[in-house]
Every structure is written in structure tokens, then in C-alpha cells.
Amino acid sequence: MIVTQNGGARRGNGADRVLSLRGVCLSFGAGNRRRPVLSGVSFDVAEGEFLCVIGPSGCGKTTLLRLIAGLLPPSAGEIVYQGRSIRGPSRDRAIVFQDYSKALLPWRTVKGNIALSLEACGVAWSQRDGRIGELLAKTGLQHAAHQHPNQLSGGMQQRVQIARCLAQEPRLLLMDEPFGALDALTREQISMDIQRIWMDKRKTAIHITHSIPEAVLLADRVVVMGPRPGRIVEIIEVDLPRPRRLDKLPAKFNDYAGRIREIFKSKGVLAMD
């Protein structure tokens, strides 16, 4: 059975809720040039939950993530994080951008890029090497510690960005289509790595994606958004055991993926991968 919810439904109780969006709207411009991007977005995220947001291009998925990160203010509505309205960026909310080539410092090594977060957080020099070593191991980058970004593949550069975000030990990890620019095989491998790291730390995660299989593979719940102005069409709870393996997916996996495709078809959205 596939459990679905409407956009305003809540998961869990108030005690385990770490993030709440209530009637969030965003528009750019003013007057006749006003362009609505998001309209009436409402949902909760529970502590330790892995939430995926999926929708067609231009529906405001990335904008929504930037609002949660505090990089943009909403035009209307409220975003509450840990009981307080978000007013700007915070170290306990880290964002992994899609364009890893612009996110990394080219003059720093892999180790130096990861260290950047520790420097910003004021972590003592005596503690940095141990933290960096642990992150290099978790992301499979031990052999590349002293290489520079231009010496790495796209997949490895994205791993560096993920490791740098994890270095600041965020409570909420935000990922903006982090696999979008990668080839299919690398994308699958990093998806598995993200699942493993998440199961180890159980950090709350919000993951933006265009891929239906990727969303079902990773998520506890999938937030399905419709075309612009972006709004929530449906929220689907994914009841599949973890760890999830690409070579041993249960039949229910296809049921969830099929349900999401049906939603897009009903909204006149072209089929997504």
C-alpha cells in the first residue's frame, strides 16, 4: 500500500519536528512584472528524516532550498527551524550545491577544502586532522587528500563538497541536485554513499532531484511539486527497508515510482527519468 498525504499534512508529532514551512510564497519583481515562483508551500520535516523534493524544471525546487538555507526571505508565509523563524544562514544548516566546480576553492587541496569548514567553525588545529581523516574515509577520498579539484573527476569533486559540508556537523543537510551533472554510474554510486553516510549519522536531510528512482531510493518521504508557481501536489511516504540496494529493489519500489509518474502525467508534466 502506498501512503500519500496532501501538502499540509504532518509527519510525526511536535516533539520530533525540526523544520516547518507554513504557507510559504515567493515572487520576484513587482507590479506588472511580478513573477510568482512558489505558492502556499506547507510541510514539516522530522528529526533524522530524509526528505526528497521532486518536480519539473522551473517549479522552484532550488528556490525552496535556498529559502530553507536562509539565503532568500519568503514573500509570504513562515519557515520555522528549531522553533524559530529563519532570518538568514546558519552553520547548522549546510547546503551542497549542484555545481561543485564553483563551490570548491581551486587553490586548495582536497584536505584544504574540507578544512575550510573547520576553520570557519573555529575548530582547534589539534582536532582538525582527526576530523578530516574521518571524512576522507567516509567519502572514499583518502587517496586524493593532497590533490587539487582540477585533478579530480566530477564525482570526486562532489564528494569533496559533501565532506566539507559534513565537516561543520550540520543538523540539517540541504542538497540541491548534487548528482545532476554526473554520469549515471557515478550518480548511482554516490547515491549509495549518501545513503550510507546518512544511516551512520542520521542527520536530517532535504534532497532536491529530477530523478524519480533516485527520490524513491533515498527518501523516507517524497514531496511532489507541480509546475510554476511551485506548490505541493502530494507527499508520498516511502515504506521500504534500509539499506536499499540498487541490485535488490523490492517490487514496491516500482509501485512508488509509478505513482509519482502518474501524478506528473495528471498535471501535464512530461515524463521524468
List, for residues 119-131, the tens digit of each pLDDT value. Answer: 887 777 778 888 8
Is 40 contained in some domain? yes
Predicted local confidence at residue 128, as pLDDT: 83
pLDDT value at 9 more than 70: no
| Strand pairing class (50-54; 76-81) | unpaired
**CA dihedral over 65, 69, 74, 80, signed as positive or negative:** positive
Q: How much is the pLDDT for 261?
A: 94
53 shares its domain with 126: no
Are residue 142 and residue 159 in the same domain, yes or no? yes
- The domain that holds 246 is classified in CATH as 3.40.50.300
Between CA 140 and CA 253 the distance in angstroms is: 28
The total domain count for the chain is 2
Say if residue 271's pLDDT is above 80.
no
Model-level pTM? Answer: 0.89
pLDDT digits (tens, 9 = 90+) for 196-239: 889 988 899 999 998 999 999 999 999 999 988 889 999 999 99
One domain, residues 69 and 106: no
Q: What is the pLDDT of residue 50?
A: 97
pLDDT by residue (tens digit) across 27-37? 987 777 788 89
- Write down the residue that cell numbers 549518501 correspond to: 194
Q: What value, to the nearest 5°, has the Cα angle with vertex 17 and ends 169 and 211?
A: 70
pLDDT at residue 121, as a whole number = 78
Look at residue 271 and tell me if it is in a domain: no
The cell for 161 is 563538497
The H or E element that residue 24 is part of is strand 17-28
My answer on whether 125 and 17 are in the same domain is no
Please give the average per-residue pLDDT across 258-273, as a whole number: 79
Note the pLDDT of residue 227. Answer: 87
> Which domain, by its residues, includes 159?
100-169
Q: Report yes or no on 222 lying in a domain.
A: yes
**Do residues 84 and 181 both lie within one domain?**
yes
Residue 273 forms part of a structural domain: no
**Does one domain contain both 179 and 262?**
yes
Instruction: Mark whether 200 and 224 lie in a shared domain.
Output: yes
Judged by DSSP in three states, 20 sits in strand
What is the pLDDT at residue 8? Answer: 42
Q: Which pLDDT belongs to residue 81?
A: 95
Question: Do 116 and 194 touch, CB atoms closer than 8 A?
Answer: no
Statement to judge: residues 22 and 72 lie in one domain: yes
Task: Specify the pLDDT at position 10.
Answer: 43
Q: Is residue 16 part of a domain?
A: yes
> Per the domain annotation, does 118 fall within a domain?
yes
pLDDT for the residue 11: 53
State yes or no: pLDDT of 14 exceeds 80: no
Considering the domain architecture, whether residues 261 and 195 belong to the same structural domain is answered as yes
Quote the mean pLDDT of the chain.
88
pLDDT given for residue 168 in this prediction = 87
Residue 272 counted as domain residue? no
Is 20 in contact with 47 (CB distance < 8 Å)? Answer: no
Assess whether 189 and 243 both reside in one domain.
yes
Closest CA to 236 of 228, 249, 253: 253
Among the candidates 143, 169, 195, a domain finishes at 169
Confidence at 273, pLDDT banded by 50, 70, 90: low
Q: Is residue 75 part of a domain?
A: yes
Write out pLDDT tens, residues 143-192.
Answer: 999 999 999 998 889 899 999 999 888 999 999 988 776 777 888 888 88
Q: Contact at 8 Å (CB) between 206 and 172? A: yes
User: pLDDT digit string (tens) for 53-101?
Assistant: 999 888 999 999 999 999 999 999 999 999 999 999 988 899 998 887 7
Q: Is 236 found in the same domain as 110?
A: no
Q: Are residues 78 and 176 in the same domain?
A: yes
Q: Which of residues 137, 169, 201 is at a domain's end?
A: 169
The three-state DSSP-derived secondary structure of 66-121 is HHHHCCCCCCEEEEEECCEECCCCCCCEEEECCCHHHHCCCCCCHHHHHHHHHHHC
Nearest residue to 52 via CA among 61, 40, 60: 61
Residue 202 Ramachandran class (φ > 0 left, ψ -120 to 50 alpha, else beta) = left
Residue at which a domain ends, from 138, 169, 200: 169
Alpha helix segments (H runs only) across 233-272:
251-266
